[in-house]
Amino acid sequence: MAGSGRGRGRAAFTFNIEAIGFAKGASLPEVVCKPPPLFPSTDNKPVPLKTGEGEDYMLALKQDLRGTMKKMPYFLAVEEDREAIERYSKKYLEIEKERAAWTPDWRRLPREMKPSKKTKKAGTKPKKAKSSELKSNLDVLKKIEELEKKDEEEEKSEDEKDKTKDKEGEDDEEAEEPEEYDEEEHEEENDYISSYFEDGDDFGAGSDDNMDEATY
Amino acid sequence: MTQAEIKLCSLLLQEHFGEIVEKIGTYLIRTGTQPLRMIVNDTGLSLDQVKKALCVLIQHNLVTYQLQKRGFVEYEAQCKRVLRILRYPRYIYTAKTLYNDTGELIVEELLLNGKMTMSAVVRKVADRLTETMEDGKTMDYADVSSTFVRLADTHFVQRCPLVPEAAETPEVPPPPAPTLVINEKDMYAVPKLNLVGKGKRRRSCDEDENHEHKAKKHKKDGEDAEPPPDDGIYWQVNIDRFHQHFRDQGIVSAVANRMDQTSSEIVRTMLRMSEVTTSSSAPYTQPLSSNEIFRSLPAGYNIVKQVLDQYLTLLADDPLEFVGKSGDSGGGMYTVNLHKALASLATATLESIVEERFGSRCARIFRLLLRKKHLEQKQVEDFAMIPAKEAKDMLYKMLSENFVSLQEIPKTPDHAPSRTFYLYTVNILSSARMLLHRCYKSVANLIERRQYETKENKRLLEKSQRVEAILASMQATGAEDVQLQEIEEMITAPERQQLENLKRNVNKIDASENQVDETIFVLESFIESTLKKP
């Protein structure tokens, strides 16, 4: 029986080796020590490609299709920021892009696909910024007026002042508490109320070491 | 979806739709059905980009959406449909052979745009045809419409599912996503349009455009003051019908190769008669009587009824069983065995692949195993008449490449190897699947190589494009030959050689992709025919 004992240094298998075709005692093929090569050489080369009118036409169609699809509005390319040189053609390219943009039939798509609200928001952002700026200006003016009123009322009577202060305080404290804190924090030790004097952008921030130019 | 399919889909999407769409498409194919916010989270793209990409994918029928019961919408990618992008040139070419240039352009426009209304298609195709015609001639809308109607009648284009008629009360808010429905009867019904007009050339300025506010704001054609009469009725290419056509073509050419031209014409007639009566996944066509076939033969073939009967008997007796006899009434009822034909085509493809890859002796062993189903090692040597050592070598080579498999039959319950039969066998279905997977890998490799070649020579290509543009503009303004020659010499001779090489390589790779796709079609049709439809 094959493999009944350690066959004196010879390999012994658990099955009849003749079953897979090796004659008894014949040398087995060598052991493979490394993975097969990545591009093994083939003895049989592939058959040449089909040629003909149909195949040529389909080839041309394929290449045309590739080129055409790159120009369609469906081709979403990642926009590269090439702001290095302002090109004159940029103005016209943008018009071309707008003209080529495609809008789908929104009735056929889920409602969440529609970006109309988003674009409106993007459009109103600058408006909002402007309005917030306007509001901030208004706020500043309001604050000035209210503080003026406060000072006048302080001179008049304390009761009225208290009442109005309470009233205004309720309104203003919520709005002005942060600002009051800020004012108190930034208060310099002088008689000037800092809210009357609006700092320019360059006050304190810009170092005026090279003040050769006169400011107007 | 296998890794090879996913890789191929991602390459196809990137080439045809850009990187953003590719990222989202690949993500959906890999992870299955997902809602919008998951896609945004996992891909890392902005919401705006994801929305645009999904719109593009839905427009091209590559992604479908479904309204879930909980009220949100989930998106699913159709991997198989993405792989069809490889076959677009074949669809367009088939339309050209059947319906000439007009049909070709209609199918091309529908494939490029995914879905379109009939009026939009007719207008675009008429404009394109007018461009190619001589000065002064224009293409009439009526011709294009009639070709469109013929395409719809033969089911090559079909209607997309429609948004249901919304008869909602104001209290009920519209659903987050429309559920599109299509009635079987309406799928090919062409709306009654009165499209009157002619194609326009891009150069000429037409007074009609001024009526429609076009001159002012560069609006597209679709945004007219009033909606077109077939608004909301979109058409798409019916890919299954094209596949049916390719399958019929394959069967007819197989019969022509095996027998002769006349028998292939007979089979073609039988298939043509069953085009609309048999569904595309039926195992065999409806039975046709010999008399009907005789009446429907094309006019050029004047063979006698008796000869036709002889041919039919010959076809039915053929061991490949393309045609089967199902009865004797009406002069003999015959059907075309579609599934058997597909199996024969796939088997022939397998045999030819083994022959080309391993040699004709291996092919002999392979065919022997196909015929005898299960054979032992010794029997293979005897039947194939190949010496033992070589037969063993070939069998193991094929076994290692999974073309051939081993079947164990134990004699004793303990499966001892010395007391077990080992039989070699070929399982056609699993070999077909394995080869299909390999085909996908090959196409992916071809596309990558082509992109690499193009990228390596990008600088040279751009230079040659610029030179051509300069040449064209100079020729248009009328320049002398000397100047033109100077410009041409900007590209040196070795550069020209390099460009030639590049062009030749790219053409070869493209042609290979087309031909691998033909094999993919045969194998896919076979595998699909074996799946049991619920």
For B204-230, the pLDDT digits (tens) are 433 344 333 333 433 344 444 456 677
SS3 call for B320: coil
What's the whole-number average pLDDT of chain B? Answer: 86
Region A201-205 average pLDDT? 53
End-to-end Cα separation, chain A, in angstroms: 114
> Which residues of chain B are within 8 Å of residue A104 when distances are taken between CB atoms?
55, 58-59
**Residue B407 pLDDT greater than 50, yes or no:** yes
Q: Which residues contact residue B498 at a Cβ distance below 8 angstroms, ignoring those fewer than 6 apart? A: B457, B460
CB contact under 8 A, B358 and A44: yes
CB contact under 8 A, B93 and A61: yes
Region B452-471 average pLDDT? 89
Of the listed ranges A113-117, B72-76, B119-123, B290-294, the least confidently predicted one is: A113-117
Percent of chain A residues topping a pLDDT of 70: 34
Tell me which long-range contacts B305-309 makes (C-beta under 8 A, separation of at least 24): B305/B331, B308/B266
Burial of B151 (0-12, 13-18, 19+ CB in 10 A): buried
Of the listed ranges A187-191, A200-204, B225-229, B495-499, the least confidently predicted one is: A200-204
pLDDT of res. B175: 64
A16 touches chain B (CB under 8 A): yes
**Residue B340 pLDDT greater than 80, yes or no:** yes
A24: left (phi over 0), alpha (psi -120 to 50) or beta: beta
Region B69-97 average pLDDT? 92
Burial of A159 (0-12, 13-18, 19+ CB in 10 A): exposed
Nearest CB to B356 within list A16, A47, A68: A47
Distances (CA, A) of B382 to B179, B365, B376, B386: 64, 11, 10, 7
Region B48-52 average pLDDT? 89
> Which residues of chain A are within 8 Å of residue B359 when distances are taken between CB atoms?
43-44
Which segment, A96-100, B156-160, B525-529, is predicted with the most confidence on average? Answer: B525-529
B96-119 burial: b if 16+ Cβ within 10 Å, else e:
beebeebbbbbbbbbbbbbbbbbb
pLDDT of res. A81: 60
Region B379-396 average pLDDT? 90
Q: Which residues pair with B51 in a beta bridge?
A: none
Strands B234-237 and B420-425: unpaired
Of the listed ranges A138-142, B15-19, B346-350, the least confidently predicted one is: A138-142
pLDDT band at B176 (very low <50, low <70, confident <90, very high): low
> Which residues of chain B are within 8 Å of residue A14 when distances are taken between CB atoms?
416-418
What's the whole-number average pLDDT of chain A? Answer: 65
pLDDT of res. B532: 75
Of the listed ranges A71-80, B102-111, B163-172, the least confidently predicted one is: B163-172
Rg (Cα) of chain A, in Å, rounded? Answer: 43
CB contact under 8 A, B54 and A107: no
Q: Which residues contact residue B88 at a Cβ distance below 8 angstroms, ignoring those fewer than 6 apart? A: A61, A62, A65, B111
pLDDT of res. B9: 95
Task: Look up the pTM and report it.
Answer: 0.77
pLDDT band at B426 (very low <50, low <70, confident <90, very high): very high
pLDDT band at A75 (very low <50, low <70, confident <90, very high): confident
**Residue A45 pLDDT greater than 60, yes or no:** yes
How do residues B183-200 score in pLDDT, each as one tens digit?
Answer: 777 777 777 776 677 766
pLDDT of res. A162: 47
Q: Encoding tokens for residue A196? A: 């009357």
CB contact under 8 A, A58 and B514: yes
pLDDT band at B507 (very low <50, low <70, confident <90, very high): very high
Report how far Cα A187 is from the mean position of its chain's Cα atoms.
42
Considering only residues A15 and B305, tell me which one the structure prediction assigns the higher pLDDT. B305
Please report the ipTM that was assigned to this predicted complex.
0.84
pLDDT of res. B251: 93
**Residue B466 pLDDT greater than 80, yes or no:** yes
Written as one string, the DSSP assignment of A37-59 is PSSPPPSSPPPPPP-SHHHHHHH
B333: left (phi over 0), alpha (psi -120 to 50) or beta: beta
Region A151-179 average pLDDT? 48
How far apart are the C-alpha atoms of B197 and B123, rounded to whole Å? 9
How far apart are the C-alpha atoms of B305 and B317, rounded to whole Å? 18
Chain A closest-CA separation from residue B251 CA (Å): 19
Distances (CA, A) of B146 to A29, A70, B189: 71, 31, 13
Nearest to B12 by CA among B504, B531, B448, B522: B448
pLDDT of res. A96: 61
pLDDT of res. B205: 39
- The one-character DSSP state at B280 is T
Q: Which residues contact residue B525 at a Cβ distance below 8 angstroms, ignoring those fewer than 6 apart? A: B243, B247, B342, B345, B346
A47 touches chain B (CB under 8 A): yes
Residue with tokens 């005897």: B382
**Residue A3 pLDDT greater than 60, yes or no:** no
Q: Which residues contact residue A165 at a Cβ distance below 8 angstroms, ignoring those fewer than 6 apart? A: A150, A153
How far apart are the C-alpha atoms of B342 and B428, rounded to whole Å? 12
pLDDT of res. B420: 85
pLDDT of res. B300: 77
Considering only residues B178 and B138, tell me which one the structure prediction assigns the higher pLDDT. B138
Region B506-528 average pLDDT? 95
SS3 call for B234: strand
End-to-end Cα separation, chain B, in angstroms: 21
- The one-character DSSP state at B229 is T
Q: Which residues pair with B405 in a beta bridge?
A: B425
Considering only residues A22 and B490, tell me which one the structure prediction assigns the higher pLDDT. B490
A8 touches chain B (CB under 8 A): no
CB contact under 8 A, A118 and B48: yes
Of the listed ranges A67-71, B275-279, B438-442, the least confidently predicted one is: B275-279
pLDDT band at A89 (very low <50, low <70, confident <90, very high): low
Region B505-530 average pLDDT? 94
Nearest chain B residue to A42, by CA: B357
How do residues B280-313 score in pLDDT, each as one tens digit?
Answer: 788 888 899 888 888 888 877 788 888 999 999 9
pLDDT of res. B139: 79
**Residue B427 pLDDT greater than 60, yes or no:** yes
Dihedral sign of CA atoms B261, B266, B271, B272 in order: positive
**Residue B237 pLDDT greater than 90, yes or no:** yes
**Residue A125 pLDDT greater than 80, yes or no:** no
pLDDT band at A190 (very low <50, low <70, confident <90, very high): low
Region B129-136 average pLDDT? 81
pLDDT band at A200 (very low <50, low <70, confident <90, very high): low
pLDDT of res. B201: 66
Nearest to B285 by CA among B309, B308, B267, B265: B267
pLDDT band at A203 (very low <50, low <70, confident <90, very high): low
- The one-character DSSP state at B110 is H
CB contact under 8 A, A46 and B356: yes
CB contact under 8 A, B234 and A105: yes
CB contact under 8 A, A21 and B377: yes
How far apart are the C-alpha atoms of B399 and B425, rounded to whole Å? 10
pLDDT of res. B226: 59
Burial of B147 (0-12, 13-18, 19+ CB in 10 A): buried
Contact A115, B48 (CB under 8 A): yes
Residue with tokens 């094929």: B398
How do residues B15-41 score in pLDDT, each as one tens digit?
Answer: 999 999 999 999 999 999 999 889 999
**Residue A136 pLDDT greater than 80, yes or no:** no
Greatest C-alpha distance within chain A: 126
A12 touches chain B (CB under 8 A): no
